[in-house]
Structure 1
Amino acid sequence: MATRSEPAHYRSDPNLGAIMSERRQLINLAYRLLGSLADAEDAVQETYARWYTLSRAEQEAIASPGAWLTKVASRICLNLLGSARSRRERYVGEWLPEPLPEPAEWTGGIVDPADRVTLDESINMAFLVVLESMTPAERVVFILHDVFRYAFPEVADIVGRTPAACRQLATSARRRIRTAQAPATPAVRRADIVRDFKQAWEAKDIDALIGLLDPRVTVIGDSGGLASASRHPIEGAQQIARGLVGLAARAPDVTFLERTVNGQPGLVARQHGVIVTVYAFGIAEGKIKNIWAVRNPEKLRPWKSSR
Structure 2
Amino acid sequence: MTGAGAESLAEMLDERQHLLEIALWMFGSEVTADHVVQETYRRWYALDDEDRAGIAVPRAWLTRTAGSICLHLLAAPSRTPAGPTRLPEPVVDLAQHHVRFSQAMLARHDRVARRFAVACQTGDTSALRTVLAADAIVVSDGGGKVRAAVHPTYGADAVARLVEALLIGQPGTEVVAGSVNGRTGLVLRREGQAVAVVSVSVAGAEVTAVWIVLNPDKLQGWHRP
Question: Normalising by structure 1, what TM-score?
Answer: 0.45
Q: How many residues align?
A: 167
Question: How has the CA–CA distance of structure 1 residues 121 and 255 changed in structure 2, closer, same or farther, with 3 Å as cutoff?
Answer: farther
Which residue matches 1:281? 200
Map residues 78-227 of structure 1 onto 2, 5 A cutoff.
91=7, 93-95=9-11, 96-97=13-14, 121=24, 126=34, 136=60, 139=63, 172-175=68-71, 186-227=105-146
For structure 2, list consecutive stretches of 5 or more residues without a partner in the other structure.
45-57, 75-101
1:212 is displaced (CA, Å) by 0.6
Specify which of 227, 230, 235 is matched with residue 154 of structure 2. 235
Which residue matches 1:305? 223
Letter in 2 for 1:238: D
Counterpart CA distance in 2 for 1:267 and 1:97 is 17
Percent identical residues: 25
Counterpart CA distance in 2 for 1:94 and 1:137 is 16
Counterpart CA distance in 2 for 1:280 and 1:260 is 9
What is the root-mean-square deviation of aligned Cα atoms in Å? 3.8
For structure 1, list consecutive stretches of 5 or more residues without a partner in the other structure.
1-87, 101-117, 143-169, 179-183
Q: Check the 8 A contact 1:269/1:275 in 2, yes or no.
A: yes
1:271 is displaced (CA, Å) by 1.5
Letter in 2 for 1:97: D
Question: Normalising by structure 2, what TM-score?
Answer: 0.59
1:136 is displaced (CA, Å) by 2.7
Which residue matches 1:290? 209
Question: How has the CA–CA distance of structure 1 residues 268 and 98 changed in structure 2, closer, same or farther, with 3 Å as cutoff?
Answer: farther
Counterpart CA distance in 1 for 2:8 and 2:119 is 31
Q: Check the 8 A contact 1:99/1:262 in 2, yes or no.
A: no
Q: Check the 8 A contact 2:120/2:175 in 1, yes or no.
A: no
